[in-house]
C-alpha cells in the first residue's frame, strides 16, 4: 500500500554483529507477500590484494539522517510496507555483514526495486567510510562523491 507512513521502519548504526533475522522479522507482516533483503559482507580481496579486515567510521548523526531520507524516498517511489536498514561500524572481519537492508511489500517487484534503490543510494549518499587493511598496509577505500548543491555566484572565491 503506497503512502504507508514509515513509522515502523528501523534504522541502526551499530558496533555489534547485525542480527539479520531480527531485521527480517521487523519488516514482515501479515499483509506482505514478499521480503527482499540485501546482505553486504566483507570480501577477502580488493584490487587484487588479500584483505585482512576493515574499519568503518561514520558521521553518525548525518548518516542516520541520510538513511531516513532513503527510506522516505523508497516509500514514495515504491509500493512497499516496511524498511529496516542497519550499518555496522568499527572493525569488521572477512565474511561479516557490513550493511543489511530488508524491505517488505505486498508484492515482490516493489520490494526488489526498493531494496536495490536503497543500497545503491546508500553507497552514494550516506557519510560512512571504510579503511581496508592488507598485509602490507592500509588504504581508505575509493568512494563516491555525494551529490552536493552547486556553488552560487554570491561569495568571492577564497584567497
Partner 1 sequence: MLQRGYNFSVPTASKTIRVKVLFFGRLKEIADRSEDVELTEGASIESLFARFVARYPELARYRGSVVASRNQEFSAWTTLLHSGDEVAFLPPVSGG
Which residues of this protein are in contact with partner 1, per CB under 8 A?
40, 56-59, 61-63, 65, 87, 98-99, 119, 122-131, 140-155, 157-159
For partner 1, the closer of residues 81 and 100 by Cβ is 100
CB of 118 to partner 1, least distance (A): 10
d(CA 81, CA 107): 10
Q: Please answer whether residues 105 and 118 qualify as being in contact, where contact means their C-beta atoms are separated by less than 8 angstroms.
A: no
C-alpha grid cell for residue 37? 533483503
CB of 13 to partner 1, least distance (A): 10
90 φ/ψ sector (left φ>0, alpha ψ -120 to 50, else beta)? left
CB of 1 to partner 1, least distance (A): 29
Residue partners of 65: CB distance under 8 A and separation at least 6: none
For partner 1, the closer of residues 32 and 114 by Cβ is 114
For partner 1, the closer of residues 137 and 157 by Cβ is 157
Q: Please answer whether residues 42 and 29 qualify as being in contact, where contact means their C-beta atoms are separated by less than 8 angstroms.
A: no
Instruction: Give the angle 57-63-68 at the CA atoms, nearest 5°.
Output: 150
For partner 1, the closer of residues 79 and 94 by Cβ is 94
For partner 1, the closer of residues 98 and 104 by Cβ is 98
> Residue 30 has what DSSP assignment?
T
CB of 142 to partner 1, least distance (A): 7
CB of 61 to partner 1, least distance (A): 6
Which residue in this structure is represented by grid cell 516496511?
Answer: 82
Amino acid at each position: 500500500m503506497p503512502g504507508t507512513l514509515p513509522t515502523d521502519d528501523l534504522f541502526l548504526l551499530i558496533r555489534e554483529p547485525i542480527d539479520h533475522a531480527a531485521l527480517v522479522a521487523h519488516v514482515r507482516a501479515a499483509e506482505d507477500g514478499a521480503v527482499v533483503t540485501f546482505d553486504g559482507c566483507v570480501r577477502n580481496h580488493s584490487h587484487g590484494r588479500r584483505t585482512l579486515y576493515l574499519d568503518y567510521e561514520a558521521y553518525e548523526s548525518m548518516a542516520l539522517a541520510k538513511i531516513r531520507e532513503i527510506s522516505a524516498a523508497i516509500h514514495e517511489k515504491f509500493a512497499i510496507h516496511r524498511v529496516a536498514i542497519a550499518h555496522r561500524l568499527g572493525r569488521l572481519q572477512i565474511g561479516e555483514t557490513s550493511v543489511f537492508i530488508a524491505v517488505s511489500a505486498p508484492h515482490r517487484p516493489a520490494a526488489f526495486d526498493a531494496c536495490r534503490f536503497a543500497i545503491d543510494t546508500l553507497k552514494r549518499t550516506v557519510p560512512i567510510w571504510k579503511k581496508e587493511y592488507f598485509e602490507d598496509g592500509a588504504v581508505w577505500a575509493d568512494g563516491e562523491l555525494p551529490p552536493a548543491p552547486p556553488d552560487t555566484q554570491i561569495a568571492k572565491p577564497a584567497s
